[in-house]
Amino acid sequence: MKNKKGSVFDIIMIAVALFSFAVITLISVSVYNQYKEELTSNPVFNDSTSNAYVEEKASTTFAMFDYLFSFILVGLIIMVVVSSFSIRSHPLFFFISMLLLIIVVIIANILSQAYTEIAGEQLLATTADSYTIIPFIMGNLATFILIIGAILVVLLYGKSKYEEN
């Protein structure tokens, strides 16, 4: 990964990073919710002020994951766009990049379907329903990846004609 600059392979990284964050968020919030339900049956933990403080902060943090997910998406898009300006690419590789983009969109669709299956599991369904942005982006991950890839391809191969003048 030394001297790594913008390429179509960065889009794979975006899809995998978004999928990983979404699944880890679902699992961690579900585990915490089950843990919290077990603690509420114990009066020692249930009546303490520190427990109330921890539950309040945890609820606030878990609610922010939805917005954090969109912030990560925007940050990754900016990273790929900025890094695409630092590479010179020959227009001959345009067709290879388009083929790779099609493959990446297929992979993104597989990840989207995998997320839908994971989020539909009985243990995770209530947690998945509490979020709005994560399920929307993950449900349309292939579309987002196609748009990001099209922008990247235009930036990679459109500037070479401009640089010649």
DSSP assignment of the chain equals -TT----THHHHHHHHHHHHHHHHHHHHHHHHHHHHHHHHT-HHHHT-HHHHHHHHHHHHHHHHHHHHHHHHHHHHHHHHHHHHTT----GGGHHHHHHHHHHHHHHHHHHHHHHHHHHTSHHHHHHHHT-SHHHHHHHTHHHHHHHHHHHHHHHHHHHHHHHH-
Q: Work out the pLDDT band at 81, boundaries 50, 70, 90.
A: confident
The residue type at 33: N
- Whether residue 111 has pLDDT greater than 90: yes
State pLDDT tens for residues 9-59. 788 889 999 999 999 999 999 998 888 887 777 776 666 777 778 888 888
Residue whose tokens read 């999928």: 19
State how far the Cα of 20 lies from the Cα of 91, in Å rounded to an integer. Answer: 33
Least confident of 4-8, 35-39, 70-74, 117-121: 4-8
- Distance CA(93)–CA(105), nearest Å, equals 18
pLDDT exceeds cutoff 50 at 72: yes
pLDDT of residue 46: 67
Selection from 123, 114, 136, 137 nearest residue 28 by Cα: 123
Task: Tell me the pTM.
Answer: 0.83
Q: Which residue has the higher pLDDT, 49 or 121?
A: 121
